[in-house]
Amino acid sequence: MTWGGLRRFREPPAADVERCELCAESLGDRHGHVVNLESRALLCTCPPCHLLFTQDGAGRGRFRSVPDRYLHTRDFRMSAADWDELQIPVRMAFFFHNSALGRNVAFYPSPGGATESQLPLGTWDRVLAANPALAGVRPDVEALLVDRAAEDRFACYLVPIDACYELVGIVRLHWRGFAGGQEAWEAIEDYFAALRGRAREVLPEEAGDG
């Protein structure tokens, strides 16, 4: 047991203090996340714990730190036919490589949480090949978040995986009825506006540049 783990039992936790889920140190206003690769859970972590798991193989490969990289391209090459083949019933979905399964997976936000879609690998591989500027997505901790903002126009963002679950939380909190309602869509649009403001735009000639 680590000293931090031992101290968790020796010292009563202070009320209303958010703590690192690995060592129980108190967290500040801003903190990082670590993915448990076995359970897929996101853990809130202090800076030392977050730094520890940035190295592959740390913690016997069970944990991996979520990076803070945001990229965006306005020139995402994808067609309405591609989207239909991917079996996504809504306008938003995020795609990432699940190393435990050894394959890419797709999820979309729904009122019940993150819902998995059966992903035809051939279709997604074709889309990835057409968009080399967003190559190099890190397994388990980064995702490509695709927004079908119009019938024939798609925006794509390379984001930390926790940013995808933030969007899932927004949908769960605000969605009402079948169509979602004005409040939900305003919250979704605000989310994507903030994402565009934070992300660095990449151009096709920057292929592979992270």
Q: What percent of the chain has a predicted confidence (pLDDT) above 70?
A: 88
**pLDDT score at 71:** 95
Chain centre to alpha carbon of residue 189 = 17
**pLDDT score at 182:** 94
SS3 label, residue 150: strand
State yes or no: pLDDT of 51 exceeds 60.
Answer: yes
Q: What is the pLDDT of residues 159-190, one digit of tens each?
A: 999 999 999 999 999 999 888 999 999 999 99
Burial class (CB in 10 A: 0-12, 13-18, 19+), 115: middle
Distance CA 50, CA 66 (A): 8
Average confidence (pLDDT) over 78-95: 90
Short-list 40, 38, 59, CA closest to 50: 59
pTM for the model: 0.84
Strand 142-150 to strand 92-98: parallel, antiparallel, or no bridges (unpaired)?
Answer: antiparallel
**pLDDT score at 9:** 42
**pLDDT score at 168:** 95
107 within 8 A of 117, measured Cβ to Cβ: yes
Helices 161-174 and 182-198, packing angle to 10 deg:
160
Distance CA 11, CA 145 (A): 42
93 within 8 A of 167, measured Cβ to Cβ: no
Tell me the chain's radius of gyration from C-alpha atoms.
Answer: 19
Average confidence (pLDDT) over 128-144: 92
Check residue 180 and give left, alpha or beta (phi > 0: left; psi -120 to 50: alpha).
Answer: left
User: What are the tokens at 26?
Assistant: 């108190």
**pLDDT score at 187:** 96
